[in-house]
Structure 1
Amino acid sequence: MIMNRLALKQTAAALGAVFALAGPATAEDIVWARYGDIDSLDPHRATSTLSLQVWSLMYDTLLAMDAEGNPVPHFAKSWTANDAGTEYTFNLEGGVMCHDGTPLDANDVKYTIDAAFDETTPSLTKGSWGPITAAEVIDPLTIKLTLESPFVAMIPFLADSFSSIICDTNGEGFGTTTAIGSGPWKLVSWTKGDRLVFEKNADYTNFGKLADNPGAPYEDGLIITVVPEPQARYAALTTGEVHIAEPPFDDVPAIKDSGELDIIVAENTGQNVFWEFAVHRPPFNDVRARLAVAHATDAATAISLIYGDLSIPENCPISRGVFGNDQDFCAQYRPAYDPEKSKELLAELGYSMDKPLETALLVWTGGNRQKLGEVFQAQLAEVGIKATIEIMDIGSLNARVRQENENTEGTTGSMDMMTWSWYDPDILYALWHTPGAYRGYTSPELDAILDETRVLTDPDARKAKVQEAMKYLLENAIHVPLYTPGWEWVFAVRPEVEGFKVAPFVYPIFSDIKIGG
């Protein structure tokens, strides 16, 4: 239920004091409040959506995505490939400038790729760049990439912010206090845990990104502020301290009915929430224990109870809108909700209502996920699985999942409600190909399947191989899909804000925004 007016005023007053201490926004600043902060200004050092969204504002990419999520020209105005798919030559736009006034050219692209493959500190997404063996500057506006073997996922990757082009003039402090890109917004400052402040890049030209505006942003500044509490974000929206924010999920229907704010729900998010398990110790080293959890989980009922129509069940290990997703195909292999089958499997393992299977259930903060976790906890308890919920931020969750996978001792299990967003089925390679994103389940058989998903150039053949990989993951209850989208990308927007939109894979666009009186 929406807060009453007195509570709103009190919350807004408290929040206003915080904004005053941090420095007020100017009339020309767009203010966006989010539940969390970025991890790094360096695109090689993080994997969260919170970080990706910021990089998309600061940096350019070789390619961009159209409204359907397909790669299109951007900084690279054209490209060619040899017949073997092992050499790509990109022709670049001229006259593009980094925020420090130096030209953005092929040398910066090479600098970025070399940094991604640095032997000491490689990019966290090094594998998603593909088997690049050389980045050769042909001339300032031409760069050639050589690959050890074909890699069909490289082109869509070059349209994503993970491949953001880092200007080679970046030096000491890059990623933590400074960052030089060429995107529509220049970094002014980052106060970790509090706010990011940007000014518009007056020299910006948009060649392919999803913005109607072909040039610099209309407004002078952009502030991205961290406001973890949903009701505080809503209060700031009502007073005008904030222009755009994720509202409290529970209040979305009432906000819609009131008509005071516009509600925009991100589509084609690529986000997939799923169960995964620590498989190198009991009980989840046995497929029957994993299947027991899958059969005990009624995802449709749980998400309807917590999210209403803001999220939908997902049958596949990749999300709707991503190449290869086929709900009917995946439904054949995803373990269906069947509590009795779950009890049978648990009994085979020696568990019962009197002797429950015990496991930690790791959940990350925000988006009503704690409430959702409690619903799942109750469902698991009905079949004899005692799950202890542990709530933590996403960075801590990622570290904890890897720690649990590397722990081979003990008999108390660990499972987590993980969320990943990706634009291509190559996410399955990143997650489950040896050594795995979190050092979890891997196998030579699965590796061989995933290797083929990267080299098959015929779309039908690749789709068949992607579906073979999904069948393997589902039948072995390695990746148990729950729902999509994965977190709270519902935006409440004040009425004076015109032109706000969200591109595929949850990239808000601010260049088109005009703030009325």
Structure 2
Amino acid sequence: MTIRTGRLTRTLAAVAAIGLCSAAAEARDIVWARYGDIDTLDPHKATSTLSLQTWSLIFDTLLATDKDGNPVPNMAESWTVNDAGTEYTFKLHDGITCHDGSPLDATDVKYTVDRAFDDADPSVTKASWGPITSAEVVDPLTVKLTLETPFVALVPFLADSFSSILCDSNEGAEGFGTTTAIGSGPWKLVSWTKGDKITLARNDDYTNFGKLAENKGAPYMDGLVITVVPEPQTRLAALKTGEVDIAEPPFDDVAMLKDSGELDIVVAENTGQNVFWEFAVHRPPFNDKRARQAVGHATDAAAAINLIYGDLSLPEACPVSRGVFGNDQDVCLEYRTNYDPEKARALLAELGYGPDKPLETAMLVWTGGNRQKLAEVFQAQLAEVGIKADIEMMDIGTMNARVRQENETAEGKGSMDMMTWSWYDPDILYALWHSPGAYRGYTTPELDAMLEKTRVLTDPDERKAAVQAVFKVLLEDGIHIPLYTPGWEWVFAVRPEVEGFHVAPFVYPVFNDVKIAED
């Protein structure tokens, strides 16, 4: 049985799987299917890319990035920095409007910064804002940020959606982060049904000052529905029937889809993403660096990703991804625990493990992106040297919470996880490994001091040397064992009638230019 709508022919099975109604299509919405859901609508309360992508649609940022990932003006038409590098003054465009109709001005910027530094409930990315001591409203369109010390990563951070500017009308709003999110971005929140879908409507008052879209006004389409469809083959079926316009296809089918021309394939570039092993280091076995190094020497990331992803991903040697400041494959290969199963076995033997006594650990992996299959390949590689890793799959929000829990637990079986972080600057390493650490994992006073140095050096050569010194510690001690980049295999399959879809650096899908042709 089929249901006819304005532009789609749908099967009842697809409707049940996707959870959309015919009204969405008649409203000329873009339908984007993803494998998982967001954590929250509050940019200060999560770190996942699924959340980040959604914030970029609802909120806007002071700065934006060009096609190469460099910061450019956006909501702020200009900015100045004092000679000491401790005062940043931003001049805002006039006429920016929040989704509730209130003007967005310097008070909203101050509200956002103050909220990020709230002692009682700070942003989870507070460290990435740098040592800001105050946000001052100079006049309605001018705001000044004062820093305790210079912080070279502030400008690129202000182009990222972790620094989304929140309209101050969110303060005290019922359900902010779950049912309410008032921004000034191209799309307004209509509703979020957790685990199902997010419904957005076009912001008719939107002006694009700096984002990577040819369209400088409101999006062309009426709405955007972001729906959760965990199963890859279900997403593909929905793409083929027209129930969904854009989705991550099954990776095993990408080559076939490219050859058939049935769907357009868009592969994200310059993602800034890095997938890596990390460990619960406050209890055995991974409180001993030899156990961590053994995992590194047992892992053949190049073989694994070639088997699962082909040419969609590249093995990564550095703790930050290719294209990020400081990344140098040759330097990192010199320091890291490269594939050497005999060395892995020797290290395990020193720790008392062997054929009759394998090292046992949980391997935490999050769903989507064929990571289940990839984890199984890694599991087999580890088993070859005497490491018994039990794979546990979970959504990203659950995994983030679980990693912290494992780090705060002093007893029990070992734990390691396949983590992914996306960032545009090596300051990501400060967020991960400076005390107290993003997940309360490995930190030392010596590493803290090294990371602090990377934030204040303004000379590029000096900063590069300091960043690579941090790489050396992380890699040699098996604290952060890189696996592959661009990180997630962000491949999008797009219906042929969809025009104008593209992906900006750091995996931000852009829908402002999207038009869907009439049947």
* TM-score of Structure 1 vs Structure 2, range by shorter chain: over 0.9
Q: Is 2:290 the counterpart of 1:288?
A: yes
Q: Is 2:13 the counterpart of 1:13?
A: yes
What displacement does 1:41 show? 1.1
Greater shift in the superposed pair: 169-178 or 455-464: 169-178
Conserved in 2, the CA contact under 8 Å of 1:87 and 1:145? yes
The aligned counterpart of 1:429 is 430
The aligned counterpart of 1:87 is 87
- String of CA shifts for 1:332-377, please: whole Å, max 9, x gaps: 1111110111111111111111111111111111111111111111
What displacement does 1:192 show? 1.4
Q: Distance in 1 between matches of 2:263 and 2:122?
A: 44
The code of the aligned residue for 2:515 comes to: K
What displacement does 1:179 show? 1.1
Q: Is 2:487 the counterpart of 1:486?
A: yes
What displacement does 1:486 show? 2.2
The aligned counterpart of 1:327 is 329
Conserved in 2, the CA contact under 8 Å of 1:262 and 1:494? yes
Greater shift in the superposed pair: 392-401 or 156-165: 392-401
The code of the aligned residue for 2:248 comes to: E
Partner of 1:213, secondary structure, is coil
The code of the aligned residue for 1:262 comes to: D
- String of CA shifts for 1:128-182, please: whole Å, max 9, x gaps: 1111111000100000111111111111000000000111112222111011111
Partner of 1:31, secondary structure, is strand
What displacement does 1:16 show? 5.3
Task: Within 5 Å, give how 1:444-459 maps onto structure 2.
Answer: 444-459=445-460
Q: Distance in 2 between matches of 1:399 and 1:347?
A: 33
What displacement does 1:100 show? 1.2
The aligned counterpart of 2:229 is 227
Q: Distance in 2 between matches of 1:226 and 1:108?
A: 32
Q: Distance in 1 between matches of 2:14 and 2:86?
A: 58
The aligned counterpart of 2:76 is 76
The code of the aligned residue for 2:148 comes to: E
The aligned counterpart of 1:201 is 203
Task: Within 5 Å, give how 1:126-137 maps onto structure 2.
Answer: 126-137=126-137
Instruction: Determine what percentage of the aligned residue pairs are the same residue.
Output: 77
Q: Distance in 2 between matches of 1:327 and 1:297?
A: 17
What displacement does 1:487 show? 2.2
- String of CA shifts for 1:300-343, please: whole Å, max 9, x gaps: 00111111111110000000111111111111111111011111
C-alpha distance 359-286 of structure 1, shift in aligned 2 (>3 A): same
- String of CA shifts for 1:416-451, please: whole Å, max 9, x gaps: 111111111000000001111111111111111100
What displacement does 1:488 show? 3.8
Q: Distance in 1 between matches of 2:15 and 2:285?
A: 46
The aligned counterpart of 1:33 is 33
The code of the aligned residue for 1:355 comes to: K
Partner of 1:292, secondary structure, is helix
Conserved in 2, the CA contact under 8 Å of 1:11 and 1:232? no
Q: Is 2:21 the counterpart of 1:46?
A: no
- String of CA shifts for 1:283-316, please: whole Å, max 9, x gaps: 1111111111100100000111111111110000
Q: Distance in 2 between matches of 1:119 and 1:345?
A: 44
Q: Is 2:101 the counterpart of 1:97?
A: no
The aligned counterpart of 1:6 is none
The aligned counterpart of 2:5 is none
C-alpha distance 17-308 of structure 1, shift in aligned 2 (>3 A): closer
Conserved in 1, the CA contact under 8 Å of 2:15 and 2:21? no
C-alpha distance 20-165 of structure 1, shift in aligned 2 (>3 A): closer
State TM-score, norm by structure 2.
0.96
Which ranges of structure 1 fall in alignment gaps of 5 or more residues? 1-8
What displacement does 1:478 show? 0.3
What displacement does 1:203 show? 1.3
Which ranges of structure 2 fall in alignment gaps of 5 or more residues? 1-8
Size of the aligned set, in residue pairs, is 508
Q: Distance in 2 between matches of 1:501 and 1:458?
A: 35
Partner of 1:88, secondary structure, is strand
Q: Distance in 2 between matches of 1:190 and 1:356?
A: 46
The code of the aligned residue for 1:156 comes to: P
Greater shift in the superposed pair: 503-512 or 483-492: 483-492
The aligned counterpart of 1:211 is 213
Q: Distance in 1 between matches of 2:281 and 2:183?
A: 41
The aligned counterpart of 1:4 is none
Task: Within 5 Å, give how 1:274-423 maps onto structure 2.
Answer: 274-410=276-412, 412-423=413-424
Conserved in 2, the CA contact under 8 Å of 1:16 and 1:241? no
Q: Distance in 1 between matches of 2:459 and 2:108?
A: 32
Conserved in 1, the CA contact under 8 Å of 2:14 and 2:238? no
The code of the aligned residue for 2:124 comes to: L
Partner of 1:134, secondary structure, is strand
Q: 2:239 aligns with which of 220, 237, 240?
A: 237
Q: Distance in 2 between matches of 1:292 and 1:19?
A: 46
Q: Distance in 1 between matches of 2:283 and 2:183?
A: 45
Q: Distance in 2 between matches of 1:58 and 1:20?
A: 21
Conserved in 2, the CA contact under 8 Å of 1:15 and 1:232? no
State the 4+ residue runs in structure 1 displaced beyond 6 angstroms: 9-12
The code of the aligned residue for 1:514 comes to: K
Conserved in 1, the CA contact under 8 Å of 2:19 and 2:196? no
Conserved in 1, the CA contact under 8 Å of 2:10 and 2:243? no
Conserved in 1, the CA contact under 8 Å of 2:248 and 2:492? yes
The code of the aligned residue for 1:398 comes to: N
Partner of 1:482, secondary structure, is strand
Greater shift in the superposed pair: 168-177 or 459-468: 168-177
The aligned counterpart of 2:155 is 155
Q: Distance in 1 between matches of 2:17 and 2:247?
A: 18
Q: Is 2:119 the counterpart of 1:119?
A: yes
Partner of 2:448, secondary structure, is helix
What displacement does 1:241 show? 0.8
The aligned counterpart of 2:62 is 62
The aligned counterpart of 2:6 is none
Partner of 1:332, secondary structure, is helix
The aligned counterpart of 1:512 is 513
The code of the aligned residue for 1:87 comes to: E
Q: Is 2:200 the counterpart of 1:190?
A: no
- String of CA shifts for 1:449-499, please: whole Å, max 9, x gaps: 100000001111111100000011000010000001222410000111111
Q: Distance in 2 between matches of 1:341 and 1:126?
A: 40
Q: Distance in 2 between matches of 1:225 and 1:59?
A: 19
What displacement does 1:21 show? 5.3
What displacement does 1:111 show? 0.6
Conserved in 1, the CA contact under 8 Å of 2:17 and 2:234? no
Q: Distance in 2 between matches of 1:504 and 1:334?
A: 27
State TM-score, norm by structure 1.
0.96
Conserved in 2, the CA contact under 8 Å of 1:271 and 1:486? yes
Q: Distance in 1 between matches of 2:374 and 2:108?
A: 44
Q: 1:270 aligns with which of 269, 272, 275?
A: 272
What displacement does 1:18 show? 4.7
